[in-house]
Amino acid sequence: MTTQDDFTVTPHSVDGDVDYDQLLDQFGADEVTPDQCGRFPGPGHPLVRRGVFYAHRDLDRFLDAATAGGDHALVTGVGPSGPMHIGHVFPFYFAKYLQETAGTTVYIPFSDDEKYLTKDQSLDEIGRHTLDNLRDILAVGFDPERTRLIVDSADADVVYPLASALSNELTQATVDATYGEPENVGLSFYPAVQATHLLLPQLVEGRQPTLVPIGADQDPHVRVCRDVAGKERYDIEKPSALLSKFLPSLDGPGKMSASDDAPNILLTDDRETIREKILTYAYSGGQSSVADHREQGGDPEVDISFLLLYYFFEDDDEEVERLAREYREGSLLSGELKEIAAEKIANFFEGHQQRRDQLGSLGEELEPYRLTEAERRRALGAVGYPDDALVRQQR
């Protein structure tokens, strides 16, 4: 939990204009270096090349394994409290990029239990959001042989025994110091569940570097998990972290959240809806009149349309630089930049929606991505449960 005069960053909220250098110092993470950026496979990813992923913990261990063809994994999760929006897509398409270029195994936990504990929603509502979010994750196009989707409530037979074992390495004082006083006893236990998520690839497949690409506000989860892994009771290593800056909401600074009042671009929005939201709500870095803009230019660093292109939706670095230059010069108007962003985003979302619409029965589509019985047994055995643990739990 980090609170300053101008901004607040916690696992549950981000407010104000975040000073990333200050946040880096307080979290004790390291800045991602140009050398590390260059070690990502292929031409790299825009999120890395452009410094959106700006800080890390033990990134070199992951990169060593990824570049040498060794076993390695990535964990990035979903909190199913509503429909997925534009701010959710980045880590999953980044994970797909690593899976395609480096053969990365990807684990995606769905924390439906945590959302029930923190949101004023019924179990039925959370369940509907989970099913909807699952469709969006499947639409990304992960390789089922190298991807596992875990839903806490549906996979409680493995998640909760593991969390119980790992909770023995946590104290309530650590939880309180990291998160503040919990609202309920469920949230006191949840850090053990979160640690289970981040360590699951190693518990299933054996000791290996594991990367957690995550918003800087979620770093406390990683820090607590690294403390658990550092106790050396189990044959696991501390997960690495890649910390990202926050995608601003359409109306300006601050983290984009499905629960905020600011409008979000949903993954299900059609082309015209996306265009209308961008044109109507996207905060502009331009001047108040065309004449002033032509003379003074705009500021792409605060312009939401430009930032959306910069973060993810324009892969060409030269094109991004051209847009920024022309915007600063005043030859590119705010309205024109909004139209470009709306078109790029709509094109990307249409491809995503087509893949989503082609999915059949969710149960049938999900099966290849679920933990197998053998994988469940290996995970439970890794923390000391006997071989017949699953049989006993299912009686």
- Decide the pairing of beta strands 240-244 and 210-215: parallel
Helix (H) or strand (E) holding 149: strand 147-151
What value does the mean pLDDT take over residues 352-356? 97
- Residue 267: how many CA atoms within 13 Å on its side-chain side? 26
pLDDT digits over 26-57, tens only? 767 899 999 999 999 988 999 999 999 999 99
Cβ(228)–Cβ(169) below 8 Å: yes
User: Given the structure tokens 């792409």, which residue do they identify?
Assistant: 300
The alpha-helical segments, DSSP class H, found in 206-265 are: 219-229
In the chain, where are the structural domains located? 2-245, 257-357
Q: Mean pLDDT for the chain?
A: 90
Give the tokens for residue 61: 């261990």
Say whether pLDDT at 390 is over 70.
no
Q: 17 to each of 8, 144, 194, 317, how far by Cα in Å? A: 9, 40, 28, 26
Measure the CA–CA gap between 124 and 102, rounded to whole angstroms.
Answer: 38
pLDDT in tens, 144-153: 999 999 999 9
Domains 2-245 and 257-357 share a fold: no
How do residues 141-176 score in pLDDT, each as one tens digit? Answer: 999 999 999 999 999 999 999 999 999 999 899 888
Helix (H, G, I), strand (E, B) or coil at 127: helix
What's the rounded Cα separation, in Å, for the pair 107 and 208? 13
Q: What is the pLDDT of residues 276-298, one digit of tens each?
A: 999 999 999 999 999 999 999 99
pTM above 0.85, yes or no: yes
Contacts (Cβ under 8 Å, ≥6 apart) of 264: 85, 86, 87, 249, 250, 256, 257, 258
CATH of 257-357, one of 1.10.240.10, 3.10.310.30, 3.40.30.120, 1.20.1630.10: 1.10.240.10
Tokens of 1: 């939990």
**Range in 64-68, 228-232, 245-249 with the lowest mean pLDDT:** 245-249
Question: Long-range contacts of range 350-355, CB-CB < 8 Å, 24 or more positions apart?
Answer: 350/271, 352/89, 352/136, 352/139, 352/140, 352/267, 353/139, 353/267, 353/268, 355/138, 355/139, 355/140, 355/141
Amino acid type, 47: L
Pair 237, 230: CB distance under 8 Å: no
Q: Class for domain 2-245, per CATH?
A: alpha beta
| Cβ count within 10 A of residue 217 | 22
